[in-house]
Structure 1
Amino acid sequence: MGDLAPWQKRYEKMVVLALLFGLLSQYLFVGAPAGISVMVFVASFYGLFFYSVQGRLGGFEKWQGQASSGWLLFIPIFLLALTYTLYANILFRFLNFFALFALIVAQTAVMTSSSTKPWYRGVFYIELLFLALLKPFAFIGVPFTLLTDRLRNKEKGSGTGRGKVGKILLGLLISAPILIVVVSLLASADEIFMSWLSGIPNLFGDFSFGNGFWRIVVGAFIGCYAFCYIWGLLFRNPKEQASVSAPVPQASALYARGRIEFDPLTAGTFLIAINLVYVLFVVIQFSYLFGAANGLLPEGAAYAEYARRGFAELVMVALINVGLLMCGLHLIRRTTAVAELVRKLSLTVLIGCTIVMLVSAYSRLSLYEEAYGFTQTRLLVHGFMLYLGVLLAIAMLRIWKERFSMGKAYIGVSVIAFVLMNYMNVDARIAEKNIGRFERTGNIDVGYLGMLSTDAAPQLLKLREKHPEIKGLHEVVELLQEHARNHDKWQSWNLSKQRAK
């Protein structure tokens, strides 16, 4: 057999780079909490990605992915990756893992034109799930084939050996995650087996067999997945492409896509009945908001307790109304101008009542926090209600402006809102709010403050300097500083922990 084709040599280098990327990834994350390592990881991935997609040699189609929306996604990706360096909030560190994964998949799919659907359509995100979670595993044998092609014998009979090697490596790769799960379960079920596993590292001195095996598995998985994912972006299965782009029959405009449409009269009656109840409820909410509801309470009921209750229920009703709104926008048949006006007015009243409910719920939650303190859940609910209010305002615009793309606006607002919540520094704000409440009421839950991340340390240090007599506060500050000192590897460098030190 002659020399390899230029395109094959290129993708062999891609395999090697993916393997190096996997080895770097396990070094960054195994045994070291995420910090500045996330920025290094993301930068390394994009190095592999741009190397792989720059032109297609050997007769392949040229890359056509210069979409401006794809380049714009670098902003939230960079900002979310940076949060691992700046902050230490546990919840957002967990959520940002999935957010970064989703944004990177969306960006790479847009930039390589791997999806035939526009990014603001729901079907685009179904294709993203396929591209990220299913399609890479269809190419899991490709890296092994490329590597064994390089190492195989040039004689005719070398094909059998190559196939056996590839199958063996593939079996090892697939069995690795299953083995990890099985070993973990057996160790939990049997203490003797657990003791045997614990004794394995002692057989090798300072070398930990378990740690070394885990690093190999993590590095191999990340490297193989990265290669197969990018390969899936570069090459499309013709059968898959045909099924994705197959035209939808247009025999019936009403049922071509299995869509259900409600009669406008039925839907209008439903919306009006709902709105009558909501309008009555909104009148009560206005009385509550301006303090006039005190005289409407039953005998023996306290206005303060009434004001602090019900915010969770109001938020649930608001979410239900969002569902009704979506149905009203898309599932009501358009007929006469009068019916269309009734639909729009009814949906407008529905949104208006929902916004009042959100304002009421927001005020009730604020009073509840003044009485019982500020927590992460309560602060996030505040943010969620503001976010929901913005979505409702966008929906109001969509009701009266048919051509307005609500999907684009919702996606853009959602990304911006999520990034803003990350940079709000939730734990520091919780500490600040609870300290302000302490100054007003003399009440503070030091135990809960001790559960916050090192983001809250600067506020707690100021509180300790001003009020050293608060019981348990010194221990909480020392605990946060000790937590910051425990992670001294450079990969885990974090501004929040550095400030706490």
Structure 2
Amino acid sequence: MPETPSMPGIPIPGMVFGNDPRPSAPPLPPLPPRRPRYDVAAELPRAAPRRVLAAVAVAGVAAALLLPGDLSGIGIALTGITVLGAVFVGSPERPGRGQLLTAAGIVALLAVPGWRSAEWLTVWYVLLAVAATTVLVVGGRTLRDMGFAVVAPLMVSLHTSVWLTRAAGEAYAGSKVQNPRAVLGVGAVTVALVGVFGALFAGADAVFAGLLSALTPDVDDPTVTANVAVGVVVGLFTALGCYLRYARPRLIDRDPDRAPTRDTWAWAVPTGTVLVVFVAFLGTQAGAMIGGQDYVRETANLTSAEYARSGFWQLFAVTALTILVVTVAWQRADRTTTRDRMTVRGILGGLCLATLLVVASALHRMYLYIDAYGATRLRISVMAVELCLGAIVVALMVAGAGLGTRHLARAVGALVIGAALAFAVYNPDAQIARINVDRYEASVARDEAPRIDTSYLSGLSPDATGQLLRLPTGLRPCVLLLIAETARDKRGWTGFTVGRAQAKSDLRDVELPTAGASGACPQP
């Protein structure tokens, strides 16, 4: 068979020919090692101490027993006190004075659900208390550290589970129990005997049966199952707090040698341009804020509601974004010379002052909206948040005037907690009822159609009872039937709230029909 001639110059994929004159590609340089985002204390023990296990167990059991079945009650504050105490007991060191003050603020936040009966407030106050607790256990001193503290529990959750598992394993290995099966058997026999004799005694005496029923949880009750699940979550949160107290995580600066830029224009040009935009916007708003609703209708051809809706949320976002811009520009600006300091004060101070005027414009828009259509929880809440952001801007201005931010993070934290507590003192549901009742009375005095939304008011919490009792007798059933039912509902001692107790007292001498005459109730 004749040989097949070779075909030079045509490489065959997958084959390497000998004496290949082509140079090989240089090897790729190794990737630099990934630098960790944070570090932990060198004194962090390998496994959790036994007092941490005890603190976690106590906090979990206390949460399962103390938390109320609904989103209000003094049991929430009692659970918070137990968790904070467990974290401090499981910590390697005693809390300082500043930490105790922060803990007192957290307890005050958790006490709001036992004071006000508005359950929609509970979620926000609990979330704020959780965020404040993470800042407390991490111990952040700057705004950057406080932001890291909020996400730190998510970053160390896996390490915490390993930490607890090692502690549980060491505790079991060092236990003196020689026969764990015998312990389980004795426990089972004890539970069975108690159940049998308890059932016999309950059948023999009604008083003992009632006591046994009160002390024995109903495993088929979904509330019990939910409390057990919440107890487990609270126990894990307590474990995270103890781990963070031992680990003391700190962010690592990725570029420690970086200094504020020496080129003033690098930050002054963008922030100064933003300031010019602010001034132009405020110039257009001056007429609306002075002229009121008539000016808005004549110039913009908008109703009060359309005027408020057209810009409030944008102004709300402007306020929050400006705080971020001022904070970043402050860190990047050079303040070594008198001229630099004057530039920082002029541009950033002017931006903060313009932001306060934007806050006033946003609040004015929402005031017009509420005056036209009444108050709601959303409208009152966003006004309160806008006021809080304005207070933070003032804090930035005070820090900039003294060119020092040493206590700025603590001041911002205190402002947020103080604003939240002030909002609870304001009693939003009662104020919503007051504003709407005032609108109704004003419309009646002008012989206009009744301006009241009885359907919305009937969904308020018992906190609004005192203001709603100002309504005429014919309207009370429209708004008070559901509220009275909520106020008189028995929820146990952990579900006690001052607001429900006060409403129950106010409704004691008020006669309400079993079925409201909803057909006669005016609608908006």
- SS of 1:444's partner is coil
1:447/1:32 Cα in 2 relative to 1: closer, same or farther (>3 Å)? closer
Q: 1:333 to 1:207 in 2, by over 3 A?
A: closer
TM-superposed CA distance for 1:17, in Å, is 5.8
AA in 2 matched with 1:99: L
Which amino acid letter does the alignment assign opposite residue 280 of structure 1? A
Pairing 1:486–2:489 present: yes
**CA offsets 1:25-55 (integer angstroms, 9 cap, x no match):** 21223745541112322333344345444xx
Match of 1:268 in 2: 268
Tell me how many residue pairs correspond in the alignment: 413
The residue that corresponds to 1:469 in the other structure is: 474
Structure 1 match to 2:141: 119
Structure 1 pair 294–349 and aligned structure 2 pair: CA distance change class (3 A):
farther
Identify if the C-alpha distance between structure 1 residues 382 and 273 changes in structure 2 by more than 3 Å, giving closer, same or farther.
same
3-state SS of 1:139 partner: helix
Q: Deviations over 1:144-166 (max 9, x none)?
A: 32552464556xxx9xx99xx9x
For 1:36, give the aligned amino acid: I
Show the counterpart of 1:173.
none
For residues 70 and 352 of structure 2, what CA distance do their matches in structure 1 show? 48
Three-state SS of the structure 1 residue aligned to 2:474 is coil
After the TM superposition, which of the residue ranges 346-355 and 140-149 deviates more from structure 2? 140-149
Give CA deviations for 1:414-455 in whole Å, capped at 9, x if unaligned: 221122122221111111111111111241111111221121
Which structure has the larger Rg over C-alpha atoms?
2
Q: Which residue of 1 aligns with 2:442?
A: 440
- Aligned residue identity for 1:39: A
> 1:369 Cα deviation (Å)?
0.7
Query: Who is 1:144 aligned against?
Result: 168
1:232 aligns with 2:243: yes
Contact 1:264/1:334 (CA < 8 Å) preserved in 2? no
1:85 to 99, 107, 114: 114
Deviations 1:445-466 (CA, angstroms, capped at 9, x unpaired): 1111122112112211232xxx
For 1:230 and 1:292, locate their aligned partners in 2 and report how far apart those are by CA, in whole Å: 51
C-alpha distance in 2 between matches for 1:214 and 1:469: 41
**1:488 aligned counterpart, secondary structure:** coil
1:452 aligns with 2:460: yes
The two structures have a TM-score, normalised by structure 1, of 0.70
Determine what percentage of the aligned residue pairs are the same residue: 19
SS at structure 1 position matched to 2:359: helix
Q: Cα deviations across residues 372-419 of structure 1 (Å, max 9, x unaligned)?
A: 111111112222222222222222233332124333322221221122
Quick one: which of 410, 421, 424 aligns to 1:422? 424
Match of 1:19 in 2: 57
Q: Report the counterpart of residue 314 of structure 1 in structure 2.
A: 315
Relative to 1, partners in 2 of residues 1:297 and 1:365: Cα closer, same or farther, differing over 3 Å?
closer
* Alignment-derived partner of residue 74 in structure 2: 36
User: Distance in 2 between the 1:153 and 1:362 partners?
Assistant: 67
State the shift of 1:207 in Å: 5.1
Relative to structure 1, is the Cα distance of residues 42 and 217 closer, same or farther in structure 2, using a 3 angstrom cutoff?
closer
Check 1:265–1:293 CA distance in 2 against 1; reply closer, same or farther (3 A cut): farther
CA contact (8 A) 1:120 1:411 kept: no
Against the structure 1 CA distance between its residues 129 and 65, is the aligned structure 2 distance closer, same or farther, given a 3 Å change threshold? farther
Q: Give the corresponding residue for 2:125.
A: 96
- Counterpart CA distance in 1 for 2:292 and 2:488 is 54
Match of 2:415 in 1: 413
Give the 3-state SS of the residue equivalent to 1:324 in structure 2.
helix
After superposition, the C-alpha distances for 1:261-297 in whole angstroms (9 at most, x for unaligned) are 5942254333443333332332332222222996798
| Aligned-residue offset at 1:119 | 2.7
Alpha carbons of 1:142 and 1:230: their partners in 2 closer, same or farther (altered >3 Å)?
farther
Matching residue within 98, 120, 123 for 1:69: 98
Q: Kindly indicate whether residue 86 of structure 2 is the aligned counterpart of residue 48 of structure 1.
A: yes
Shift in alpha-carbon separation, 1:91–1:126, aligned structure 2, 3 A? same
Partner Cα distance (1:151, 1:145) in 2: 10
- TM-aligned CA distance change 1:284 to 1:246, over 3 Å: closer
Higher helix share: 1
Counterpart-to-counterpart distance in 1, 2:224 and 2:387: 47
CA positional deviation for 1:339: 5.4
Q: CA 1:481–1:329 in 2, change beyond 3 Å: closer, same or farther?
A: same
| Aligned mate of 1:208, from 214, 220, 223 | 220
Contact 1:268/1:346 (CA < 8 Å) preserved in 2? Answer: yes
- Partner of 1:290, secondary structure, is helix
Could you say if the C-alpha distance between residues 223 and 142 of structure 1 is closer, same or farther in structure 2, counting changes exceeding 3 Å?
farther
- Structure 1 contact 139–231 (Cα < 8 Å) conserved: no
Aligned 8 A contact 2:73 2:494 in 1? yes
Q: In 1, Cα distance between the equivalents of 2:277 and 2:49?
A: 65
CA, structure 1 residues 495+139, in 2 after alignment: closer, same or farther (shift >3 Å)?
A: same
TM-score of the superposed pair, with normalisation by structure 2:
0.67
Shift of residue 355, structure 1, vs aligned partner: 1.8
